[in-house]
Chains A and B, each alone.
Chain A
Amino acid sequence: MTMATIERRAVLGLGGALAAGVTLAPGITLLAAPAERTEASAGRRWAMLIDSTQCTNSCTACTTACRKENNVPLFGEPSRDVHWIRKVELRDKDQRRPSVQVPVLCNHCENPPCVHVCPTEASFIRKDGIVLVDMHRCIGCRYCIIACPYKARSLVYHETRRTDESNPNVPIRSKGVVEKCTFCVHRLDDGQEPACVEACKKEGKGAMLFGDLNDPRSEIAKRVHTVATKTIRPDLGLKPRVYYQGL
């Protein structure tokens, strides 16, 4: 074996190691990413209680505030408009009870099917129970939309642009990703309540209550334990974190 052969081998080996390093390094970084993002407000269990008896037909404060706060786009096509929160009216078939208003949003399930089925781990759940979508990982396959029984997710069908009215604290989502309610996570991390809850309070309705279920002194923890509440489709075992009173 000559020196020249050894040197050639060494160079080839070094080149191979470099190539492998360059190839694998991004993967290693990406593998580490989910662990970093699960630390936010750990120990809390955010939840919402909606008193449908206090919610009125004519009021759209929550949906309007949500759209404004989160730059939720309207495309003017009813079946393709994005909704983070929407209102459903339930009327008793026999008209023995007054109709009730049910604002429906992502239920931030403890056992979220959208997270389980996501092929790229774009949908994930934080330690505090908030289910989010990483827009940089979402490929727009829409399996999460199929899996969600609450129809809480929407695909962004068209390109959207930032305007003077857009909220600078919330990024504009690009065409082709799936988005949904975040419980206004950017506000929560700043110690504020979700925009819909704040708007509801401003209207003087008090139909929406938000808080930490893990804190026994919180209003929501007391109400959920003392008042008769329901969740939507409890039979699915998803443990939703949006509770309804008066349904």
Chain B
Amino acid sequence: MEESIVTYNAFHHVAWGTTISVYFWLVGASAGSFVISSFGWVFGIKRYKPLTMTASVTAIIMLLLVPFLLTWDLGKPVRFIYLLIPGYWHSTGPMAWGTLLICLYPMSMMVYSYFVIKSNQTFAKVFGIVAIVLALSTHWYTGVVMELNPGRFLNHTALAPLLFLTGAFISGIGLMNVIVWIRNMLLPEEKRFDWTLVYEMAQFMMYGIVFDIFLLFLDFMQTIYGSQNEVIGHGVVLMQVFRFPYLWLEMVIGLFIPLIILVTPLKRTKAGAIVASLLVAVGVYGMRIWWVMGGQYLQSFY
């Protein structure tokens, strides 16, 4: 069949579209922001403590948008409740587990934030650790949801969760830096965050970018030395149909331009750090687009 030309009389709509891409971006940015929030109270890096609540509130808000998006995207929105009823819960369905994570993660962040407000170091650390595990699991799960589809060759790779987590880490930091910048612009001098934190977070982001490029290179190698489907998937789907989100938005805008900024003296300028952060936060959305829709693209025909 591979040596044949296919003509067909049926088309298929992409089952998961923009809403799911936005959901993946939100969960990732939330997880990344929460990691920043935990630096001060969980990992004991005291100079990050002033950032804790800003990062935590950002992470909570991003995640609280998720249930609305997902419910709205269901064919039967009112039936979202089935996901929470034991008689309907299906243990082999990754989405059933994902529902639990999406419920538990914001709750744990709220409990953590409560103990941070109460300055209870012990409980803040305990619930911070719980929340970090849940943050990573919630975003790891989004990669797993896409990965567990052997028929979708662009998605079916064990690198998926790692790519998602790395994207979460860098987009979360990028988003936090942009929020710090906006906050510093709006507040008086004495309430502003220290800019050195932004430079330091940009440095963390640079390590994440390098690791992300490495993972994408591994994925690229597997694809071009892979099956005919994988070769077509890369050559046609990614380099032609999804060229903008894959090549331009993710690679050029989201990874290479920020990397160039962050390996030059520009990284020590406010403009350099903020532009790099903004580009990374936007660029990761490109990855979410091609990852969700690119995998389905070839299968939208015949």
Contacts and interface: CB of A to CB of B under 8 A. Distances in A.
Interface string B213-234: 0000000000000000000000
Interface in A144-183: 145-151, 154-157, 175-178
A191 to B, nearest CB: 31
Interface string A62-81: 00000000000000001111
Given A80-B13, A121-B88, A151-B299, A93 B75 contact: no
Given A117-B92, A141-B74, A177-B75, A93 B5 contact: yes
Contact of A27 (B74, B87, B90): B87
A166 B277 CA distance: 58
Count class of interface residues, chain B: 35 or more
A120 B149 CA distance: 18
Contacts of A156: 75
B188 interface: no
Nearest to A33: B87
A210 to B, nearest CB: 22
Interface residues of A, number: 55
A211 interface: no
A79 B11 contact: yes
B207 to A, nearest CB: 33
B76 A177 contact: yes
A93 B74 CA distance: 41
Contact of B74 (A31, A176, A232): A176
A88 B7 contact: yes
A78 to B, nearest CB: 5
A94 B5 CA distance: 10
A226 B94 CA distance: 40
B10 A89 contact: no
A155 B74 CA distance: 10
A247 B1 contact: yes
A89 B15 contact: no
The B interface is mostly helix, strand or loop, or mixed, namely loop
Given A116-B92, A117-B148, A139-B79, A151 B12 contact: yes
B5 A142 contact: no
B8 A120 contact: no
A9 interface: no
B296 interface: yes
Contacts of B7: 88-89, 91
B75 A138 contact: yes
A148 to B, nearest CB: 7
A225 interface: no
A80 B99 CA distance: 27
B79 to A, nearest CB: 4
A20 interface: no
Contacts of B296: 146
Nearest to B3: A93
B265 interface: no
A139 B151 contact: no
Contacts of B145: 143
A77 to B, nearest CB: 8
B151 A31 contact: no
Interface in A87-115: 87-94, 104, 113
Contacts of B6: 88-91
B85 interface: yes
Contacts of A137: 82, 88
Nearest to B153: A149
Contacts of A117: 92-95, 148
Interface in A215-230: none
Contacts of A236: 150-151
A233 interface: yes
Contacts of A140: 74-76, 79
A139 B80 contact: yes
A118 interface: yes
A79 B76 contact: no
A3 interface: no
Interface string B66-103: 00000000111101101101111110111110010000
Given A88-B9, A146-B16, 5 more contacts: A88-B302, A119-B83, A138-B79, A154-B12, A177-B76
Interface of B: 1, 3-13, 15-16, 74-77, 79-80, 82-83, 85-90, 92-96, 99, 145, 148-152, 296, 299-300, 302
For the complex of A and B, list the 8 residue pairs with the smallest distance between their C-beta atoms, beginning with the closest: A140-B75, A149-B151, A30-B87, A176-B75, A86-B10, A119-B95, A119-B93, A145-B15
Interface of A: 26-31, 33, 78-81, 83, 86-94, 104, 113, 116-121, 137-143, 145-151, 154-157, 175-178, 232-233, 236, 247
